[in-house]
A and B are shown apart, each in its own frame.
Chain A
Amino acid sequence: MRPRFLIATLLLATGLAIAAPKAGSVVTVRVLTAKVMKAPKFIGPAAGDVSRGEQLKFEEAKGDWYRVSGAISGWIHKTNLTERQVTLSSKPGAEGAGAASRDEVELAGRGFTPQVEGEYRQKNPNLDFSHVDKIEKTSIDPGELEAFVAEGKLGGGQ
């Protein structure tokens, strides 16, 4: 188990790109939240949101975009996904890490974790983390962004 775990670590560490998965295989959302889009581009109407740990079925790839089905069907940029399992909790490393066998987990709960942040905050009580909590919760509506891009004659995400 250790060596396998180590290999997983190193693969992750070196950031090896993984080829598109097989049709019908399961992919998992690795970011905290992501938009599933109606078309394979960043801007425009979204089909809905998915969050970390959610599993989707891979259907096909178009460049860096994957068409997926499941609770929400549509297109999602591949950088939001992993073929490894991730923790089921919304925050990385939080409880739920035990759900998958350890060497399959995307190193969740390793190294700098919520436990470490907690300890760091205790040692630095002057630091107010409530601001970053608020900041990271906001997101841009892809529909509004589409209008912004069109009005400014930009090419973003097309």
Chain B
Amino acid sequence: MKRALLVAALAAVSCKVNLTPEGISKAYRGIKEARKDLTPENEYYVGRAVATNILAKSNYKYRDESGFSSGKLEGMTAYVNAVGNVVAMASLETPHDGDRPTPLAGWHFVVLEDKTINAFAAPGGYIFVTAGAIEQAGNEDELAAILAHEVAHVRRGHALGSIKKSRMAGVMKEMLDSSVELDKQALGTLTEAFDGAMDDMMDSLLVKGYSRDTEFEADSVGLEIMLKAGYDGSAFVSYLKKLNAHQATGSGGFSATHPKASDRISKLEKKVAKAPKVTVPKARINRFKAAVLGVE
């Protein structure tokens, strides 16, 4: 039955549909959402390019570059990757319907040399957090909250979700119809869609942000993830309170792309209150000071 339907759909696509963008879009309705339909491989290439665009916007200025070159992470970056990987692993134990699969190249956390408070998650598990955001966090649990929110954006496919559906129709058509070795026309179509997808995602990441509900989802899934990892959920709220105070006096950075911190707090507070209390051990406090503030 399913098969017959698919064959019919394919026949409709190849014979009857006029090949205007609207026509294709109509024919592929239902199978053209990037966050559902892009393969892990597709996400990998999209993610690499988004990551590179984010780095370019920061003039490729990030912490501990030498560690990335040698393959052995160093300094604050090694620490942020340790926290980030613990959180990312916990995210596998809090699965939700429609989660993106584990990124092909694993999870990577990069500290941008930037005083403003911000963080970005590219598809494929490339996560960027500004030095300003980390310094604003007073401890490891608040850092874990920032990273868990970003890991949630990746797991839920939020950046991919900002790719315009009209673009995806063309991509799905090429995915189904073209041969493995792309001809010039197919390559042109796909590259144009890829280029456009970059615009869509960078616009969401840096300029207009996601919808409020998307951000609330990243908060609520992020909270679940950090709790699973063993972090103190109340640190999420304490960090948001700092952002709230910051938003009263400043703008830009995360303020441009996220709902008001006070709104985020009111959505999270009840869930945090229900979470088991965590006693933060001294070692966790000390290692944050050592890695981030340089205090031994």
Interface residue ranges, A against B (CB under 8 Å): 2-3, 5-7, 9-10, 12-15, 30-33, 42-43, 52, 64, 77, 79-80, 92-93, 97-98, 102, 106-117, 119-120, 123-124, 126-129, 131-132, 134-140, 144-145, 148-149, 151-157
Interface of B is mostly: helix
Contact with A along B93-117 (1 / 0, CB 8 A): 1000011011111101010000000
B101-142, CB < 8 A from A: 101-106, 108, 110, 126, 140
- CB of A148 within 8 A of CB of B86, answer yes
Q: Given the complex, which residues of A lie within 8 Å of B73, measured CB to CB?
A: 138, 140
- The minimal Cβ–Cβ distance linking A111 to chain B, given in whole angstroms, is 4
Taking the closest CB of chain A, its distance from the CB of B96, in whole angstroms, is 11
Complex: chain A residue closest to B285, CB-CB:
A152
Residues of A within 8 A of B65 (CB): 134
B250 at the interface (CB under 8 A from A): no
- Given A32-B104, A155-B229, do A110 and B39 touch, yes or no (CB 8 Å)? yes
CB under 8 Å from chain A, chain B span 214-238: 228-231
**CB-contact partner of B7 in A3, A124, A132, A139, under 8 A:** A3
In this complex, how many residues of chain B approach chain A with their Cβ under 8 Å: the count is 76
Which B residues lie at the A interface, using CB under 8 A? 2-3, 6-7, 10, 31, 36-42, 44-46, 48-49, 51-53, 55-56, 60, 62, 65, 67-69, 71-73, 81-82, 85-87, 89-90, 92-93, 98-99, 101-106, 108, 110, 126, 140, 171-172, 174-176, 178, 180, 182, 187-188, 190-191, 194-195, 198, 228-231, 281, 283-284, 287
Beta-carbon contact of B86 and A107 below 8 Å? no
Q: Is the CB of B39 within 8 A of A145?
A: no
- Residues of A contacting B105 with CB < 8 Å? 31-32, 136
* Alpha-carbon separation in the docked complex, A57 to B138 (Å): 47
Contact A102 B180 (CB under 8 A): yes
Partner of A127 from the list B52, B67, B89, B230 (CB cut-off 8 Å) is: B52
CA distance A116 to B190 in the complex (A): 7
**Do A15 and B31 have beta carbons less than 8 Å apart?**
no
What's the Cα separation between A149 and B108 when bound, in Å?
18
- With both beta carbons as reference points, the residue of chain A lying nearest to B122 in the complex is identified as A132
**Closest approach, in angstroms, between the C-beta of A39 and any C-beta of chain B?**
14
With A92-B104, A93-B41 in contact, do A138 and B67 touch (Cβ < 8 Å)?
yes
Q: Once the chains bind, are B45 and A152 in contact (CB under 8 Å)?
A: no
Asked if A13 meets B69 with Cβ closer than 8 Å, knowing A97-B180, A107-B39, A156-B90, the reply is no
B174 & A111 in contact (Cβ 8 Å cutoff): yes
Tell me the smallest distance from the CB of B183 to a CB of chain A, in Å: 11
Residue pair B195, A148 in contact (C-beta under 8 Å): no
B167 to chain A, nearest CB (A): 11
User: B52, B65, B231 — which one has the most chain A CB atoms within 10 A of its CB?
Assistant: B52
A57 to B243, CA, bound (A): 50
- How far, in angstroms, from A5 to B6 measured CA to CA in the complex? 11
CA of A44 to CA of B126, assembled, Å: 24
**Contact present for A156 and B230 (CB under 8 Å):** yes
Q: Lowest 7 CB-CB distances: which A-B pairs, in order? A: A156-B86, A155-B230, A154-B230, A92-B41, A136-B105, A119-B191, A79-B102
Cα–Cα distance between A43 and B230 once the two chains are bound (Å): 14
B92 touches A10 (CB 8 A): no
Given A135-B68, A140-B73: A77 touches B92 (CB 8 Å cut-off): yes
Across-interface contacts of A64 in B (CB, < 8 A): 92-93
Decide: B106 and A156 in contact? CB cutoff 8 A: no
Given contact pairs A30-B104, A128-B60, A138-B73, enumerate 12 new A-B contacts (beta carbons under 8 Å). A2-B10, A7-B3, A32-B106, A97-B180, A110-B42, A110-B178, A119-B187, A119-B194, A137-B68, A137-B71, A151-B287, A155-B230
Expressed in whole angstroms, the Cα–Cα distance for A92 and B67 within the complex equals: 25
Bound together, the chains give a CA A148 to CA B79 distance in angstroms of 9
On chain B, the residues within 8 Å of A111 by CB distance are: 38-39, 41-42, 171-172, 174-175, 190
Q: Do the beta carbons of B53 and A140 come within 8 Å of each other?
A: no
A14/B36 in contact, CB under 8 A: yes
Bound state CA distance, A115 and B92, in angstroms? Answer: 31
**B194-A135 in contact (CB<8A):** no
User: Which residues from chain B contact A80 at a C-beta distance below 8 Å?
Assistant: 102
